[in-house]
Structure 1
Amino acid sequence: MESLTLKKTSRRQDPNVEDMLTPASQNSRNYGPSLIQELGTSDLQTRGKPTSPEDALEVLRHDPEYQSLVSTLRYLAKDHADGPAGFNIRRPTPLSAQLIQVLVTEIAPNYWTLLKEDANEEKTAGLGLLLSCLRSAGGINAILTRLRAHTQDVKSQGSRRGERRDLSMDIGILLDLICHVLEGDARILDIWKVTTGVVDNPGKGRPLVQELLSIFGSGKTISLAAEAEGLLDSSSKKSIGSLWVSDSVKYTTWLSDNIMKAQSAAHIPEQSKFFPSLFGKALHLGHPEIPIRKMLSALILVKDTDPQHIASLLDNLPQTEQRKVLFSALKILSADYLNRLGNCESAESQAVISAVAGAIKACVGVSEIRRGHLTEWLTGSSAAGLGEGIGIRRAALAVVSQEKDSAVAVLEKSINQFGDQLYIKHSPMLQQEAHAQVLILAAGYLHKKSPLKLSMLLKSSAWMNAISNRLAAPHLRARFLGMVVGEALSGLVDKDDKKLNFKMEETERGEGKWYKDLVRVLDQVGTVDSLLKPQTEAPIPKKIRQAAPIKPSSQPRQQGFIIEELSDDELSDDDVVAYGKPDSDEEDSDEDATLVRRDKPKAPVYIRDLIRYLRDTENYDHQKLALMTAPTLIRRKANYGKEVSEHAEELAGLLVGLQDKYEIENFDDLKLQGMIALVVAQPQAMGAWFSKTFFDGDYSVSQRASVLVVLGLSARELAGFETSEYAAAASFPSKTLPERVEKLFIGEQSSTERLPSSSLKALPPNALDTMARSITSDFLAPLAATAADAATGPDVLKLSTFNSRLQNDQEGSSNPKVKIKSRTKPQIRTIKNTTAQLLSTSFFSPLTARFQAAIHSSASRTRGIIFQPHLLALYIKTLALLLHAAGPTTLALPQMTAELWGLLLNTGVRVQAVGDLSVTQALLFALLALLDVNEDRMRDVCRDLGREVVETQEWVGSVFGGLRGGDGGEEEQVKMMAAGVLVRLNEGIEKYRLLMVGDLIGYG
């Protein structure tokens, strides 16, 4: 027996040693107790099936025949707890642990392939019996322990090639085994029942429950499986199916399905604590939206649901987890059902909002804790669904306002916050708009429940100060919100002659009227039945070819052929049109006729066809055609029908998440151009959608970077600074003259003059960086010329080669048109106020508001993503380009300036700039853009943002002093930018110092 053991443990050390030990192992079986043991085992196998767990253990230890193995597994899989032996392999006992160890270490590696082949032919074969024996805490732990040991062996330095191959096969078998063992949406409930059913005392069963929580909810199963999968060779991966355990998304989905399956089952007191705890663990596996979506679909958005199921799940969570679940549920409900309703003015809006309110009511239940969290969501820094539509705020207020005290609390907090001076000055305008809607809606509900209480609140000093502070605000949008809120609430409690009326056109029409009408909105809490109806997709339009108009003829049509003889004089050479040679068919040029393809797909002509092509990720032709057609097709369909507007979000989601699976030429450029076409076609909707996707979407860093590039380039195109080569190709023939006629009427010279300053052709990876360099050069050129003449200013501006370096930088960029031609600063192009307002509300404000909400959020994952250096630098440059594209004529320029300046001085942002030149360069470029656009209003900047100006001067001065420069590299370029910012700031401070004195008292 000693020599036999030596053989097994040394099998993987050296093939020569194994050969040397084999005869000793064989000879040892002819002597002593080993012969008796083998005879006993052979006799046991002959009898057919074991009669006790000890017999089963002996059979499994000695390489049984397949039929004997199946009989043994069938015996072990049967529950003998009620029999005289009282044994169940799935319950934790010393004997069951030995059996499980043999099954995992000996049976599974040697018989796994045979068991799977047998299972394909007969579903009741040995594979199901083996899995049944291992579906317990002990079985899963044994598999994970064995997998960890093999993983460490492969990673060790001494593993030889042949041994590594054997270990890779064993790792593949173990991964496949754990996937089969855990398969099913009721697996955890079954394992939990078996594990805890043997314990009568809850105190003794607590360690077992903690072990199950550690196995399923700690994430160690995912990490270990992912690490082991990375060590597999290609042959092992091919022999295994889908290893879903190593995929965090699939594993979280499986875990959530199991939790909801158990939670929706019959209520068990002990179960009510285990599965809520497991649900809390699932929220921390990296994809919290998956378990929350499963919770909504399984426990709330179903007919005849038991409210006790969702209550028992949420009541056993910590308060912080309840808050997280509730806030995420509100976000999901808004995205899935309410955002598509816009301002909720359609006929179906009220029914959908009532149904969503019913879902929120089910989440809140009778818990005062969750009701308090809902009140906090409406009035807190999260801005009541920042960036979401008003529908979710209406639904949440319908739930909160069912109780008078809650409605009073929401209104009081909203009034105090709405009138706070620091809040007015520093909060993003998108956040202030959301809180203004909450305030008006809450006042309408309170007026219905208690008009007297509302009258008392509107006579308080808090209300008076709120309106006064709003009217005195420096920003136009802040004053507008103050006026509409004041008029709306005054119309509820004051008589006709005492109603507050500013007699402004902005408050009487359009958006102002919509705000004031919110006081009459009173939504009811309904059932979720309307949310359960499947959303039918719009039918795909048929391809109809429009025929040319038929001109009526005065003569009746004659039947048959008409033969007319013409003389030579009547027939001229000009009347005879010769047929040209047919174009060569590339498909027919191949010598082998079998290689000619006749089934090539045609380019999509409808948006639904384009979506279908993009979804077909397994077809190379569809993917390539979709990418090549998307920019032109989207632009062409933008103003004709509702194809683009109805499918814009779906199309954008497909384009953002598209992967270059087939290495298509110019893939990134075509993908960006398709997304730019979407934003240009639907700027108001898609600008906000892409801004939201950058923060909320489950995308990689490169995909988020592409979103920023799309926002920056599309904003420049909307503002008229750039044009796309696809814009002309997208115009319909009816919109343009024939080429020959156009030359006669317009001429070549005038047609070229109508082109914008640059053209967006092939987009380089650093498209935004190129534009940033061009804008920087425009800003620094006059400063360099002035410094060269006066020989004053910072040392870097005194260099004689500074002007030439700027010239070289511009000549080396992709835009050779921008050069230093004079010492006067080029004028910034002014654009329409409507376009500038669109860039402010749909592009700039969503990006800044969501950034501030993200940095104050407790979700470390979001903070970690946005503070990644490359992404942070690109984000700051995008904001600067948006501000520059909006231009100095933007009505919201003071608000945009304050938001961007405050973001640049954020402590977290400046900390990231320490030691990272890319982030420092982005911050300095944003400051250059701010000073460039606000050149004509520096007086207002120094008056309203005096502290920010001085703090910026100190910070940029420290950056300038800490850089060496002189080497012509990136550091010198950053130092030049810092010098330019310092010169402009010093000019403003010296000129408007007296205006800044009052604001700087106590600074420093």
Structure 2
Amino acid sequence: MATAKPVTNGLDQVRDIIQRLQAPITDLPTLLALLCAPLAALGLLPPRFRDHNQNPLPDGAFKLGRHISSIQEAILLKIVPTWEQELRENDVLLLADQYFCPDSFWCATDEAGDIALLAYSTLLSTPLTVYSLRLLSRLTREYPIDRLFQAVFARKGSKSALSPHEYQKRSIQWEDCVQNIVSVPAKVANAALANKIAIPELLEHGAYFNNLCIRYEQLICSLSTAPLNSDIVSSVAYLLGKLVNVGVFPPTRPTSRSQPSFFLSTLSSIRGNLRALNGAQYASLWHEILDQLPSISTTQSILTSLFSSLSIGFDSDPGVGPNARVKAEASLLLDVVGHLGEARGELWDSITSITLSRGWTEWHARILVCWVAGAQSDNVDDATIGAWLSTVVDVWSSPDHIKYSLLSQHQYLTSLLLFTISYLPPSSPHLSSIGLSPTFISGVGTYISHNDQGVRLCGMLAAEVVAHRTGRELAFGDWDGDSPGKAWARNLRQKLQFRDIDALLDEDDVDIDVPTPAEQAQVQVTEGHPTQKPTIVLATESGYDSDDSLVGYQSEASSRSASPTPSELAEIEKEPTLNVGVKKVARPVYLAQLGELLRSQAGTQGKDDPHHADKIEMALNCAEELIRRKRNYGIELEENAVNLVYALVTLQDNYDLDNFESKRQAALNALVSCCPRKAAPCIIEQFFVNQYSISQRYVMLNAIAIGARELASLPMPPSASSIPADRPSFPSKLLPAHLHTKYLAAGDTNQIQQITDNLSRVAIDKTKSDDGDKVPGIARERRLRINQSSKITAVEPLKKNNQFPWQNAPPVKNTTFTEVAAEYFIIPFLNRFWVFIRDEQTREERTAHLSGRARYHGAGTGLILNPIVLSHFLSTMTVLVHAAQNAPEWLAIIAPEALEFALTVGTRPISLPDDDDEHSTVTGQSPEESARNKEASVLSASLELALIVLDGAKEVDDGRSLGLEHTALLMGTGEWAGTLFARLESGRKAEGGGGVQDIKLRRAAAGVLLKVDEITSKWRRSMIDSANI
């Protein structure tokens, strides 16, 4: 019992390592220590990581088959999504790769082979990522199928033969391995399409299976050097059958690189191995594998692909006389498939079915007959030739064949029949029986009576040749001329005088190069685009050259040393001896760590922290990437989204960091698009807090708008994350309100303004004739209903628990904007705005009797009701409403609420004018009149919002909901736009207008008038009837 205690402790230590790998890890040294211990126990730890093995495992504690899959799962699902960037930067990602694809130093060990076998199962049973595809690509290159076969059946530790029980166990392991291997391209393609990631070149369908075919042929070559039992051959044949099922044995020659072909990839290697010293053993193994195939259809697929590959590289006209290339290909068939003279019934049935039911070429006919004859001139198999001739005559004389086959099929079978007859001597009994056969005689009569002259010539030629070979006289004559089929008949009659089996072989005939589609494409590219260009030599004539008068002079040497180059400065900065005590800020791998870096300014050290600027810079550099990477990774993003919003919104550029604004904006955009249910309400709430500057409010509005368009899969602005950072966030706090627009940089609003301008232009350009593509009334009624939960909840049947927990989880569904538009974006924004404006107007009323600075002004500098911020708020609402057009709440809630909001902001006073306002002072207007005189930017933004709402209502249900259910609102909008348009036409100017702003205002007002007129003209009669009721 004392000896078992260390093992128990060791098992507990292994379980503790696995549990800690599945839980969050605080720092990189801890992670390295956890990863090193199991590898050291297996003897696969690279030497440079031995210092990190602080807690080695006892001998025998770590069981590879029992524990390695759990660690692989933890690495793929927990470690890599969080620590990949950190591991890559510190050049220690190899340690994680070692658990899937041990490097070449340990490739030959049994442990490395077992890890590779289990790696395929783990990688293919978990969601595939970029990291997983990289590992699969390495496994394909470093652990091919022949190495995996060795890992299953040929372990170094076992010298004795496998017992039946052990072979059965390993056979099951091999079948699982084959199943994983052949499923890689399909699963990779599905994952790449779903996740929009690139497929590595080695994992593309054609390249992967071509490489697999090459390695399979090398496996056969390596196994042929030693005697094998039938069980091992059966396992090798199992893989060949799987390759047939996935389509690597095409019936015709592939025409593109994406179509794999076994023989196109391996035929040249097969020829070379057949000529090697152990060529006989190699050919014998091929015979055994073909005999072990599970079905005749599998054998037929392989032989069909082999025959179609034989025709590659030949000329269109074989020529007259014995052809050594035909004999070489027949010898190849003899070596790979075997001799048909033996009692191989299934093989005979497969060959006859393939060769007699398809239209091959004359080359195939000559190769096939030479192969059937034995491919040896001194040993022609007359018995097999006779049996083959009888089979061919039966098909050739068939009435159905004569009546329905094409001319090419007739010529092929006639060639096959006559080439077979040419191999028989005139005294052969098989030839005599054919001449007197009723089947053949009736077939000739059917041919001669055929309507097609080419088909008649086939029967006439066969009858003449058979009669001549059997010593009889028969001559139909009329073989001269250019009529269809006569040239073919004359050419074939000449070729029948020679036998290809009598040709002499040399090396040139045996080495038949078969170019692959990729090689052919490369040749075409090389021929079309020469790689070398002619050298251009510029020679000047002897004589005067203006450069001859330029004479250099020597300057005095400077006592100053040369200034260091930027690369030298970077090296000096990285010098460890000069940075003693300087602590490098670690890259955050969890969102909680990111939040700590962003909130470090509010810590105990605050701005006195010497590393505060480095922390903020590191956080901004990796904020967007980390947030997007955690999108579908558990609930970590939901737990930290609110804290990150607070940290990013309140962040100040106190250190003049590079691209501060663009990086913060990109991080907030990512938060809204990746976690809309948490980030959007938080940003909306913070927007109405009075502590933020205009620049910070712009960032919040941009994040809401751009995040919404990303959720709705709408085109993003090209400058979504490129806000200029080399300008002050606000020009001055002392400028009067009407000068802020002049001096405030337009970079913050360009993104949203460009989107709203495009939306308005598209809406205005639509004509009244666009009435054919509208949503029908049934769809409108469905949109008006807000989905309610069913009163009866269906109970799903219990499913069988899978091996891995993530397989039981439902697939992750990304949130769309239509699901969250009303509940988390538009309605909360509008409700908080109404509450905010109520509070602001109440504060203004309380101080209305005061004067000067004692009087509160809700639209003062930097506040939300300021025209600058309010117009941008309206533009943001326009973007949100347009993106939510397909939401189920659009007609009933979003459209009327947004239209009422636009009408209210455009017509009602938002805030009392400031006493210091120059316009009101000069014109002498009352506060109420001045408040009603809106800024041009606010008016145009309100009209654009109304325009988008009306255009959406016209698109969804032809404006029926607004026209019949919100008639007063629709008519009020039209009256407002008409009055404003009439004033502009009469020459009156809006405050803050002029130039482009006037054009936008006129265009928006005209667009609203047009849309209201379209809707009212469509539903005017119903609107009148409903008003009377």
TM-score, normalization by structure 2: 0.39
Which protein is bigger by CA-based radius of gyration? Answer: 2
Name the one with the larger helix percent.
1
